């Protein structure tokens, strides 16, 4: 046994390891710090915590057994896929078991006629599309981390992607989830038919951040691959005009396969990195993709171009071939790492707003840049109102970190105020738990906690994530704001 | 005068205090569905009206008692639709639709476009509800992507009003397809199931299908180029547009001749590729093979087993012996979670008790 990590109760650790050794081979249990270190954080690396024990079950029987041991010993369990999540949903607990599902990475079956694939939770998102490609099928949700992130994590976070405007989120593309309750009892949500009896618990499990059950098998829908896709890149001198162009496209009855925007700061950051040919003179770049049969795309493209011109696009380019289309997208998809090169750290927000409030929210973000003295490039899933402003800061400077957190909190509160949400696709995790107090009333939070208890009475599955305690909200003293209305609007506030 | 929501609040608080069940009901277009509920009537139709609709946001928000027909005509005016094609079912004696917006959500039933476009739950973005304590609660919102907290709003779809009173809901809308053609082909059941699955895998724009008595009708919807391509590939005989519209409405609302008469109507939801079930009784197959209607007096157990063998489930949809459960039994672990979730929202058990399951 190597160096002992701080904050771990070693007597308890020895007890849990001994019990787990009864159900797992020793190489599937990690507890020395050099072995558990890689699990101390997920994609939100600002938060770190060494787990007491890491368990790596290889099959459903082992998952069940680990859960039974943990339930008997009252040890909390945090499930983890690839650890690419951006909100700390898989942040371990010092008194808990980190349940890695990485060993369960088999595609159990793929039925090209039924257009369904049954996969284990540790299968990577992109691996499903790769396996389906020879049948002319694909799995539609494509989060930016798709080469690494796993399907179990996608269900836990209800992941989106750049094509979800047309193809939907994870919840729209999964038909059945199998797993275990905290007690280790097998449970199944949904079915391979188009619906299942009773309440729609399949929907409830999506985005539940591993707090209701542990997922061991997922059946996903496969869609026919579009025969062709082409991307339009449009420049706008004014970011509001770009926002109006998005509304105008939808008003003509077109739902593009992708509709993405970058502001000038983001475009220039990615241009140096990805060389996508973005127009750096523009205030905003809009990418609109059309996919389907060649005839469909041919019918749709000129209609979109006409709307863009009418909406005041200063320049328009259409990808001539697949290579150029991928080049257009390369910049957008590299936005996070590219912006990451501009400063030691960046803080990514995930607020979603009604699209018509875009200009107002972007103006507000501009004011916050002034107020906090920090830069904030914007990338934006324009089609569905999901903003990813990226605050640039240096975490080694405590003052900058504090200003960043205050900046982010104000922006998320603004998103709620205009009728949106604090998180569109990254999840609450530990990161946005305080903002939950703003978006939801005490009664609504109480319902969330009771829903959790209905599945997990002992509160052992990923405790402390997603749903804040009433106590926490009271301590924050934040006010619940909805639709711009504070409680007691009759009272003056200064 | 108190608002409708204030009146609901008083009714709910009083029912809760007395543990007196409420029968939550809109226009009653789906009174036949589920089990009969005893209790004081709470008519949702006094709380009606479209609250917000901006076509470019692809969202409509309306109060519970808003006539579904009113919502649909507001959307049609802007060239949009509810993509899941909700059924209106039983009309009033003059043939006018009775269905309400929240009734559509609570029933969770989708129409012919379901297999291609998704179900009610896929389009539900947010709800304002009143729980059993009379508290107004909001879950979800008006935006497409929202992962803050648990997705409580989608759970309301198909809950049959057994958790809470839906006061208001926001639903995603979509543009109407510019072109639509219905084709008629003659083929036996097994060939129809096989063909529908093959076509779905080809990406042809099949938006509805119905097979009965050796005749398969398929509706193609989308960009005119896409419809043209699919028409050529699928072949068959083109159905006159007006007749096609009447046909699909008849299937959607169960006004088609198939649904007439007193024989029990079973709804078997099965994987789309499930082989012919071989059950006695007249069959209508929708949803690319995924929905098999059956007019049959066969034993409930026989029918449920046939559905279960495929990985699906069976509902005694209309008529028949409704003295035992009409919905497919849940596994004990799921039944227990249902019971606990019911208590979360409705601790005194006042909302539509027994409408879904006797113990719920």
Interface test with B, best of A88, A118, A199, A447 (most B CBs within 10 A): A199
- Give residue A4's pLDDT: 62
The alpha-carbon gap from B286 to the nearest alpha carbon of chain A, in Å, equals 11
DSSP class of A383 = G
Distance between CA B230 and CA B233 in Å, rounded? 5
Query: What value does the mean pLDDT of chain B take?
Result: 97
- Give residue A335's pLDDT: 87
Domain covering B263-318 in this structure, CATH number: 3.30.70
Distance between CA A17 and CA A5 in Å, rounded? 15
CA neighbor of A218 nearest in space, from A66, A106, A57: A106
- Contacts with B163 from chain A: Cβ below 8 Å: 199
- Give residue B103's pLDDT: 98
Q: Which A residues 96-125 touch B at CB under 8 Å?
A: 111-116
In the predicted structure, residue A375 carries a pLDDT above the cut 60 = yes
A194, A223, A439 ranked by CB distance to B290: nearest: A194
Confidence bin at A490 (pLDDT 50/70/90) = very low
In the predicted structure, residue A245 carries a pLDDT above the cut 70 = yes
The alpha-carbon gap from B320 to the nearest alpha carbon of chain A, in Å, equals 19
Other CB atoms within a 10 A radius of the CB of residue B324 amount to: 10
B122, B273, B356 ranked by CB distance to A172: nearest: B122
- Contacts with B190 from chain A: Cβ below 8 Å: none
DSSP sequence for A249-277 = HHHTT---SEEEEEEHHHHHHHHHHH---
Q: Give the residue from chain B lying closest to A300, CA to CA.
A: B223
A208, A352, A443 ranked by CB distance to B145: nearest: A352
Mark yes or no for CB contact A293/B142 under 8 Å.
no
DSSP sequence for B10-74 = HHHHHHHHHT--EEEESS-TTTTSS----SEEEEGGGS--EEEEEGGGTEEEEETTSBHHHHHHH
Interface test with B, best of A193, A201, A357 (most B CBs within 10 A): A193
Distance between CA B173 and CA A78 in Å, rounded? 37
- Residue B194 and residue B201 in contact, taking contact as beta carbons nearer than 8 Å: no
B115, B150, B287 ranked by CB distance to A451: nearest: B150
Query: What value does the mean pLDDT of chain A take?
Result: 92
Mark yes or no for CB contact A187/B108 under 8 Å.
no
- Retrieve residue A412's tokens: 């998320």
- Give residue A480's pLDDT: 52
Interface test with A, best of B136, B145, B167, B232 (most A CBs within 10 A): B145
In the predicted structure, residue A369 carries a pLDDT above the cut 90 = yes
pTM (2 decimals)? 0.96
CA neighbor of A20 nearest in space, from A121, A89, A98: A98
Domain covering B179-252 in this structure, CATH number: 3.30.70
DSSP class of B100 = B
Mark yes or no for CB contact A295/B228 under 8 Å.
yes
A195 in reach of chain B (CB within 8 A): yes
Q: What is the pLDDT of residues A124-145, one digit of tens each?
A: 999 999 999 999 999 999 998 8
* Sites in chain B below the pLDDT cut of 50: none
Q: Give the residue from chain B lying closest to A176, CA to CA.
A: B311
B148, B290, B328 ranked by CB distance to A197: nearest: B328
Confidence bin at A494 (pLDDT 50/70/90) = very low
Mark yes or no for CB contact A356/B56 under 8 Å.
yes
> Please, what is the angle between helix A358-372 and helix A239-251, to 10°?
160
- Give residue A487's pLDDT: 40
A228 in reach of chain B (CB within 8 A): no
In the predicted structure, residue A404 carries a pLDDT above the cut 70 = yes
- Give residue A355's pLDDT: 87
The helix/strand count (H/E) of chain B reads as: 11, 17
- Give residue A1's pLDDT: 44
Mark yes or no for CB contact A293/B229 under 8 Å.
yes
Largest separation between any pair of C-alpha atoms in chain B: 64
In the predicted structure, residue A491 carries a pLDDT above the cut 60 = no
Q: Give the residue from chain A lying closest to B137, CA to CA.
A: A444
- Residue A238 and residue A141 in contact, taking contact as beta carbons nearer than 8 Å: no
The alpha-carbon gap from B140 to the nearest alpha carbon of chain A, in Å, equals 8
Largest separation between any pair of C-alpha atoms in chain A: 70
What is the DSSP pairing of strand B50-54 with strand B59-63? antiparallel
B118, B141, B357 ranked by CB distance to A172: nearest: B118
> Please, what is the angle between helix A264-274 and helix A322-333, to 10°?
120
- Retrieve residue A20's tokens: 């787990």
Q: What is the pLDDT of residues A155-200, one digit of tens each?
A: 999 999 888 999 999 999 999 999 999 999 999 999 999 999 999 9
- Give residue B78's pLDDT: 97
Q: What is the pLDDT of residues A39-50, one digit of tens each?
A: 999 998 888 999
What is the DSSP pairing of strand A214-221 with strand A284-292? unpaired
- Residue B276 and residue B211 in contact, taking contact as beta carbons nearer than 8 Å: no
Mark yes or no for CB contact B152/A226 under 8 Å.
no
Domain covering B4-175+337-345 in this structure, CATH number: 3.30.465.10
The alpha-carbon gap from B291 to the nearest alpha carbon of chain A, in Å, equals 8
The CA-CA-CA angle for residues A91, A53, A19, to 5°, reads 140
Residues of chain B within CATH 3.30.70 domain(s) are: 179-252, 263-318
Mark yes or no for CB contact B151/A169 under 8 Å.
no
Highest mean pLDDT among A335-339, A485-489, B210-214: B210-214
A50 sits in the region (left: phi over 0; alpha: psi -120 to 50; else beta) called beta
Q: Which helix (H) or strand (E) holds A287?
A: strand A284-292
B108, B178, B344 ranked by CB distance to A253: nearest: B178
- Give residue A340's pLDDT: 82
Q: Give the residue from chain A lying closest to B144, CA to CA.
A: A384
Please name the residue that has the structure tokens 């060494």. Answer: A50
CA neighbor of B311 nearest in space, from A137, A109, A104: A109
- Residue A183 and residue B336 in contact, taking contact as beta carbons nearer than 8 Å: no
Q: Give the residue from chain B lying closest to A158, CA to CA.
A: B147
Mark yes or no for CB contact A194/B313 under 8 Å.
no
A116, A425, A466 ranked by CB distance to B149: nearest: A466
CA neighbor of A331 nearest in space, from A290, A286, A375: A286
CA neighbor of B104 nearest in space, from B253, B279, B227: B253
Mark yes or no for CB contact B331/A187 under 8 Å.
yes
Q: What is the pLDDT of residues B23-74, one digit of tens each?
A: 999 999 999 999 999 999 999 999 999 999 999 999 999 999 999 999 999 9
**Residue A164 three-state SS:** helix
Other CB atoms within a 10 A radius of the CB of residue B302 amount to: 12
- Contacts with B146 from chain A: Cβ below 8 Å: 352, 421, 423-424
Confidence bin at A489 (pLDDT 50/70/90) = very low
- Give residue A5's pLDDT: 67
Confidence bin at A486 (pLDDT 50/70/90) = very low
Q: What is the pLDDT of residues A73-123, one digit of tens each?
A: 999 999 999 999 999 999 999 999 999 999 999 999 999 999 999 999 999
The CA-CA-CA angle for residues A419, A423, A428, to 5°, reads 135
- Give residue A359's pLDDT: 84
Q: What is the pLDDT of residues A455-468, one digit of tens each?
A: 999 999 999 999 99
Mark yes or no for CB contact A199/B287 under 8 Å.
no
Confidence bin at A19 (pLDDT 50/70/90) = very high
């Amino acid at each position: 046994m190597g160096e002992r990590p701080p904050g771990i109760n070693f007597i308890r650790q020895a007890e849990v390891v001994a019990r787990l050794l009864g159900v797992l081979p020793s190489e599937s249990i990690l507890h020395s710090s050099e072995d558990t270190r890689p699990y101390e954080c997920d994609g939100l690396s600002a938060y770190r915590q060494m787990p007491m024990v890491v368990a790596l079950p290889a099959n459903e029987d082992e998952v069940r057994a680990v859960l039974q041991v943990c339930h008997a010993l009252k040890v909390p369990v945090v499930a983890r896929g690839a650890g690419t999540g951006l909100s700390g949903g898989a942040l371990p607990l010092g008194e808990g078991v980190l349940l890695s599902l990485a060993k369960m990475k088999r595609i159990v079956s793929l039925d090209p006629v039924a257009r369904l694939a049954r996969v284990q939770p540790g299968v990577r998102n992109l691996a499903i599309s790769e396996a389906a490609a020879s049948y002319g099928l694909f799995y539609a949700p494509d989060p930016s981390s798709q080469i690494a992130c796993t399907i179990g994590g996608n269900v836990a976070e209800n992941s989106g992607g750049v094509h979800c405007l047309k193809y939907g989120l994870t919840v729209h593309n999964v038909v059945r989830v199998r797993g275990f309750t905290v007690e280790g009892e097998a449970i199944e949500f949904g079915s391979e038919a188009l619906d299942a009896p009773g309440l729609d618990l399949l929907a409830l499990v999506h985005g539940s951040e591993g707090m209701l059950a542990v997922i061991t098998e997922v059946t996903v829908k496969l869609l026919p691959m579009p025969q062709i896709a082409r991307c339009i890149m449009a420049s706008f001198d004014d970011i509001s005009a770009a926002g109006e162009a998005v509304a105008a496209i939808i008003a003509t009855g077109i739902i593009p396969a992708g509709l993405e925007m970058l502001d000038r700061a983001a475009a220039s950051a990615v241009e140096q990195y990805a060389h996508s040919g973005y127009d750096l003179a523009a205030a905003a770049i809009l990418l609109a993709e059309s996919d389907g049969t060649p005839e469909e795309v041919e019918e749709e493209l000129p209609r979109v171009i006409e709307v863009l011109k009418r909406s005041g696009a200063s320049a328009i380019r259409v990808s001539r071939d697949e290579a150029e289309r991928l080049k257009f997208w390369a910049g957008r998809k590299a936005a996070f790492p590219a912006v990451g090169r501009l400063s030691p750290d960046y803080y990514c927000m995930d607020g979603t707003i009604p699209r018509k409030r875009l200009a107002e929210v972007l103006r507000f973000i501009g004011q916050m840049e002034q107020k906090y003295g920090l830069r904030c490039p914007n990338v934006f899933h324009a089609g569905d109102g999901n903003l990813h402003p990226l605050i640039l800061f240096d975490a080694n400077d405590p003052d900058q970190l504090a200003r960043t957190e205050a900046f982010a909190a104000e922006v998320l509160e603004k998103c709620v105020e205009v009728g949106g949400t604090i998180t569109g696709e990254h999840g609450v995790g530990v990161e946005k738990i305080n903002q939950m107090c703003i978006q939801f009333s005490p009664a609504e939070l109480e319902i969330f906690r009771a829903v959790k208890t209905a599945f997990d009475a002992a509160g052992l599955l990923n405790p402390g994530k997603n749903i804040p305690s009433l106590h926490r909200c009271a301590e924050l003293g934040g006010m619940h704001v909805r639709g711009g209305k504070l409680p007691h609007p009759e009272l003056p506030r200064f | 005068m108190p608002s409708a929501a204030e009146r609901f609040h008083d009714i709910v608080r009083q029912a809760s205090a007395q543990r007196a069940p409420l029968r939550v009901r809109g226009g009653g277009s789906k009174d036949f569905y589920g089990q009969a509920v005893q209790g004081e009537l709470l008519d949702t139709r006094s709380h009606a009206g479209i609250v917000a609709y901006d076509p470019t946001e692809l969202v409509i928000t309306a109060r519970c008692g808003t006539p579904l027909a009113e919502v649909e005509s507001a959307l049609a005016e802007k060239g949009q639709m509810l993509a899941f094609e909700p059924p209106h079912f039983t009309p009033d004696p003059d043939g006018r639709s009775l269905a309400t917006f929240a009734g559509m959500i609570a029933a969770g039933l989708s129409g012919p476009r379901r297999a291609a476009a998704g179900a009610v739950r896929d389009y539900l973005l947010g709800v304002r509800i009143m729980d059993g304590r009379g508290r107004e609660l909001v879950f979800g919102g008006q935006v497409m992507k929202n992962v803050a907290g648990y997705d409580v709003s989608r759970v309301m779809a198909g809950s049959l009003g057994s958790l809470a009173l839906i006061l208001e809901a926001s639903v995603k809308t979509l543009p109407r397809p510019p072109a639509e053609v219905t084709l008629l082909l003659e083929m036996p059941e097994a060939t129809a199931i096989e063909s529908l699955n093959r076509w779905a895998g080809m990406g042809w724009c099949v938006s509805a299908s119905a097979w009965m008595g050796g005749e398969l009708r398929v509706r193609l919807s989308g960009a005119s180029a896409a419809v043209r391509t699919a028409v050529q590939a699928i072949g068959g005989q083109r159905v006159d547009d007006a007749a096609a519209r009447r046909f699909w409405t008849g299937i959607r609302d169960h006004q088609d001749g198939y649904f007439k008469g007193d024989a029990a109507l079973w709804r078997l939801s099965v994987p789309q590729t499930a082989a012919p079930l071989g059950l006695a009784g007249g069959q209508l197959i929708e949803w690319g093979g995924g929905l098999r209607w059956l007019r049959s007096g066969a034993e409930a157990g026989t029918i449920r087993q046939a559905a279960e063998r495929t990985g699906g489930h069976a509902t005694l949809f209309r008529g028949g012996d409704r003295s035992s459960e009409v919905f497919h039994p849940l596994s004990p672990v799921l039944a227990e979670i249902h019971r606990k979730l019911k208590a979360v929202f409705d601790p005194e058990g006042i909302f539509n008790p027994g409408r879904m399951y006797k113990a719920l």
